Copies of this chain bind each other. A is one copy, B any other.
Amino acid sequence: MTSFDAAFQHTLAELFAWRRDVRRFRTDPVDEALLRRCLDLAAFSPSVGNSQPWRFVRVSDPERRAGVVASFERCNADAAATYEAERRDAYVRLKLAGLREAPVHLAVFCDESTEAGHGLGRATMPEMLRYSVVTAVQTFWLAARAHGLGVGWVSILEPEAVCGIIGVSCDWHLVAYLCVGFPVEEHADPELVRHGWQERLGAGGMPLIER
């Protein structure tokens, strides 16, 4: 039986607190072994029925990357147009992705056709398959930060267009598009807090509702 001591618990809390959604990357490459190490750790994530439906795709081809950037720019312009006045000014000042600079792009898919897991645990909640991929993203994110790497999750994209740009099976559903690289700067507070977009809720800790 493995137990974890107070020093580890303390540093783990630091890791949770310092994990950031990074949008400002250095352009220097990420060591291949380091990237593989973080991906291997993500494979220890929970998945429904042990289905392990996560599929990680590294997008390196310049045309494909440019296609993803173009999708982001379309969606971001559309999103900006939905805000008014000061909120719109605030939106356009935000840097919401580091797609151009990040040395590594990872598109993370859910293989909806997988037979692994034999359907266990997802008859009444079929969304569990995609949720399993999300847990792998969060595990990868924490592993990356522990090794000095920054990750940014870009969701201002057209998911079906991105599948086409990347060229994967129609059975694969895009769950996350991640920028990965070394961060230019590090902060303990989220960028959206620092720039006044959205404060942390419940400063006294996580509310627990009783039933």
A residues contacting B by CB (< 8 A) are: 1-4, 8-9, 11-19, 21, 35-36, 39-46, 48-52, 54-61, 64, 75, 78-79, 82-83, 87, 91, 94, 96, 107, 116-125, 127-128, 130-131, 134-135, 137-139, 141-143, 145-148, 153, 155-159, 166-168, 175-176, 186, 188, 190, 192-193, 197-202, 205-211
Number of copies: 2
| Sample of 22 A–B contacts (CB below 8 Å) | A4-B11, A4-B14, A4-B148, A8-B15, A16-B143, A39-B205, A39-B206, A43-B206, A48-B155, A50-B193, A52-B200, A52-B201, A55-B209, A57-B210, A58-B211, A117-B197, A118-B197, A121-B155, A125-B159, A131-B131, A135-B137, A166-B211
Whether A61 contacts B134 by the Cβ 8 Å rule is no
Verify B123–A156 contact, CB threshold 8 A. Answer: yes
Inter-subunit contact B211/A61 (CB<8 Å): yes
In contact, A8 and B8 (Cβ under 8 angstroms): yes
Whether A56 pairs with B208 at a CB distance below 8 angstroms is yes
- Residues in B whose Cβ lies below 8 Å from that of A51: 198
Do B49 and A123 touch across chains, with their CB atoms under 8 A apart? Answer: no
Give complex CA distance A39, B210 in Å: 14
A38 CB, min distance to chain B CBs, angstroms:
9
In the bound assembly, the distance between CA atoms of A16 and B3 in angstroms comes to 12
Instruction: Take A52-B200, A78-B123 as given contacts and tell me if A209 and B57 are in contact as well, using a CB distance cutoff of 8 Å.
Output: yes
Known A50-B190, A197-B120; contact A14-B2, beta-carbon cutoff 8 A? yes
Tell me which of B54, B116, B208, B211 contacts A39 (CB under 8 A). Answer: B208
Contact for A46 among B40, B60, B141, CB less than 8 A: B141
Q: Are B122 and A155 in contact (CB under 8 A)?
A: yes
Nearest CB on B from A70, distance (A): 14
Contacts of A148 in B (CB 8 A): 3-4
Task: Choose one: B1, B50, B166, B200; the contact of A197 (CB below 8 Å).
Answer: B50
